[in-house]
Structures are given as structure tokens and as C-alpha cells.
Structure 1
Amino acid sequence: MMKRHLTKALLCGAAGALLLGSAPVRAATGVAPPAMYPAATWQGQSQAVVRVLDRLDAHLELLTIPVGGSATYHSLSVGVEACVSRPQTLAADAGALLHLKDSSDPQRPPFDGWMLAQEPSVATYGSPLYDVRVVSCAGAPTAPQAGPLPVVKAPVLASAEVPVEEGGDAPASQPGSASGGPVPLAPDSHNPIPLAPPSGAAPSLAPAAPAQPSGQPLPPPEADPGLE
């Protein structure tokens, strides 16, 4: 049974390779990157969701407070001046400008500042009774507006020539070939290629011997008188 499944998988892989090999090669096209808001873009909203922890009984309370309004939890007063969040194309985060005041602790100064949902340690309310965190923003969009997304254009790719692999077919036109075909690897027996003298060798000054008619013997070479 296992051998049958293995044979079937090999046949399917071979069929897939044949289909991929027979597919036509298409030209590459440029793909535009996704349109995103800049990192410093924030969107205003009309409500803020704030979580309050009562340290005495570990009770969590979610308060939905409109911008410009306030809410109370026991002796804690929570006012919201602004709430902004990031658009959907950026990493999720929210920030609220809060005003906190505990009436049971008049010695502690009120908190006035921004709190961030994803970075709660940047600003905290140092009360021994309450811990306040920003959860998110809600409601209708208000100022500041995120604005339209930037227009992103697809890149234009330059046409590139396909390089010839090593050992592959050479182009039809070669320098030094009059007919434009491939250069012969061996000289033609009917039209031998003359060999050039080696570089640096002195040219021969002796006259060439006259051609003798076919069928007649060559005369014997003359003796050098200096050798007698």
C-alpha cells in the first residue's frame, strides 16, 4: 500500500513538472506597493474608552467618555479633552488627553497629560487606589482628519535581454564570419587558411623556387664553394 502511494505521488509530481515546463513565459510586470498612511498620521474620534482598576477590590470598570466631557468612578474624576487613534493601514494604537483627580486624596496633584494604549508605561497615574489605562477610541471621526491615502504608482520595469548560458547556442551574427553563421572549428580542405608567421620572426628574403613542370626531375642542388 505504501509503495502504491509513493508511485502515485511520483507520477503526480512528474505530471506537474511537465505542465509547468509547458507553460508560456510571461513578461514581468511592476507591482505597486500597498498604499499606507505616514507613521505620524492620527485620526480624531469623538469618544474615549478608559479602564479604571480599583486596587482595593481588584474591580475593573470600563468608562466610555465623550470628548470634552467627564465621568466619575467612586472618588476618581476622569475628564477627556481629546482622543486620537491610528488609521487601519498602520499599527493599532490610541492616545487620550486625560485630566484625573482623586477627591479622597487632596494632597496628590491632578494628572493632566496624554496616555497611550500600546505604551502605558510612558505616562501613568501614580495613585495608590486607582490605576487608569486607555483602551481605545470610539465614536464618529473628528478633527484631526487622516486625509486621503497617498497615490502609489506601479514601477515601470526596463526590458532586459536574456543572457546566453555558458555552453549554449551562440547568436546568429558573429564577428569575423562573413555569412553570419557559426565559425568553423576546422579549416576547409579545399580552402586552407594561411598561417601567419610567428610574431617577432624576420621575414624570409630568399626568392621562392620556380615551379617545375609536372613529370620533370628537379636539378641537383649546387655545392657551396665555401665547404670544399
Structure 2
Amino acid sequence: MRRAVLAALLLAAPCLASAPAAAQEWEPKRTAELQMLDKVTARVSVLQATVGQPAQYNTLTIAVRACNARPVGEVPDAAAWMEITDSRKPDEPAFRGWMFANAPGVSMLEHPVYDVRVLDCK
């Protein structure tokens, strides 16, 4: 619940600080660049996932529903709304929600074998 509230505040609500409104905008993008880690083999790879099309990484299916980035000239950041399922447990999602490039600990995949991190939205 707390993560969902934080995500909503970061992406949708106006900032209470005195920063200009333009500094609070996000631009929708079509592709999420994800860093994939296989904890068993310690292999790291980068996966390009198109919004609206499921991407596969070993037993994981990653469905990126939205990918937003800060405009040019702002502090770089990216956020992706994803639904991740594991073929070993197809009835329960492994992850559903926003992941943030600059705050990976706020909302993360809790999986015994794989780790997923948002790098960028392009």
C-alpha cells in the first residue's frame, strides 16, 4: 500500500515544492531498457521490452504497460509499470507495479533466481 501511494505521488500528483511545473513532467516512451540478473549464474544482461508486448527472459514473462522518462534538460530518471510472471508459478504474478530507475529499492521484484531493474525508457 505504501509503495503504491509513493508511486502515485511521484508520477501523478503535483509537487508541493516550489519547483516549476515543467520540472514535474514525465514523457511517455515506447521501450523499457531493463537490466536482468540471474542470481544463480551471476550473469547480467540488458533486455529491451516494448510497451504492450510481452518480453521473455528465461522463465520470466515481462509485460511493460507504461514507460516514462524525464524530459531532456531535467535530472534523468525513468519509471516503468510492469507485470512480471514466472512460468513456474503462472497463477500468481511475481511482480506488479512501478519500478523506478533512480530508486530501485522503492519497488522491486522479490524472486529467488532473478533480479530486474529499470535502466531507462526510450
- What TM-score, normalized by structure 1, do the two folds share? 0.43
Equivalences for 1:156-167 in 2 at 5 Å? none
Asked if 1:78 is matched to 2:62, the reply is yes
Tell me how far apart the structure 2 counterparts of residues 97 and 109 of structure 1 sit (CA, whole Å): 13
Q: Which string of whole-angstrom CA distances, capped at 9 and with x for unpartnered residues, describes residues 73-104 of structure 1?
A: 11111111010000112111000011101112
Assess if the C-alpha contact under 8 Å between 1:42 and 1:87 holds in 2.
Answer: yes
Tell me how far apart the structure 1 counterparts of residues 29 and 92 of structure 2 sit (CA, whole Å): 30
- Which of 19, 44, 51 is the equivalent residue of 2:35? 51
1:122 aligned counterpart, secondary structure: coil
Q: Which string of whole-angstrom CA distances, capped at 9 and with x for unpartnered residues, describes residues 8-39 of structure 1?
A: xxxxxxxxxxxxxxxxxxxxxxxxxxxx7623
Q: Which string of whole-angstrom CA distances, capped at 9 and with x for unpartnered residues, describes residues 187-210 of structure 1?
A: xxxxxxxxxxxxxxxxxxxxxxxx
- Which of 129, 137, 145 is the equivalent residue of 2:121? 137
Tell me how far apart the structure 1 counterparts of residues 75 and 82 of structure 2 sit (CA, whole Å): 22
Equivalences for 1:33-182 in 2 at 5 Å? 38-105=22-89, 109-138=93-122
Deviating more after overlay: 53-62 vs 96-105: 96-105
Comparing both structures, which one devotes a greater share of its residues to strand?
Answer: 2
Q: Which string of whole-angstrom CA distances, capped at 9 and with x for unpartnered residues, describes residues 117-171 of structure 1?
A: 0000110110010000000011xxxxxxxxxxxxxxxxxxxxxxxxxxxxxxxxx
1:50–1:126 CA distance, 2 compared to 1 (3 A): same
CA RMSD of aligned residues (A): 1.7
Unaligned runs of 5+ in 1: 1-35, 139-228
Assess if the C-alpha contact under 8 Å between 2:83 and 2:96 holds in 1.
Answer: yes
Shift of 1:108: 5.6
1:120 aligned counterpart, secondary structure: coil
Tell me how far apart the structure 2 counterparts of residues 102 and 50 of structure 1 sit (CA, whole Å): 16
Tell me how far apart the structure 2 counterparts of residues 107 and 67 of structure 1 sit (CA, whole Å): 22
Q: Which has the larger radius of gyration?
A: 1
Unaligned runs of 5+ in 2: 1-19
Percent sequence identity over aligned pairs: 37
Assess if the C-alpha contact under 8 Å between 1:93 and 1:116 holds in 2.
Answer: yes
Tell me how far apart the structure 1 counterparts of residues 86 and 38 of structure 2 sit (CA, whole Å): 12
Higher relative contact order (CA 8 A, sep 6+): 2
Assess if the C-alpha contact under 8 Å between 1:37 and 1:90 holds in 2.
Answer: no
Aligned residues: 103
Q: Letter of the aligned partner of 2:71 in structure 1? A: P
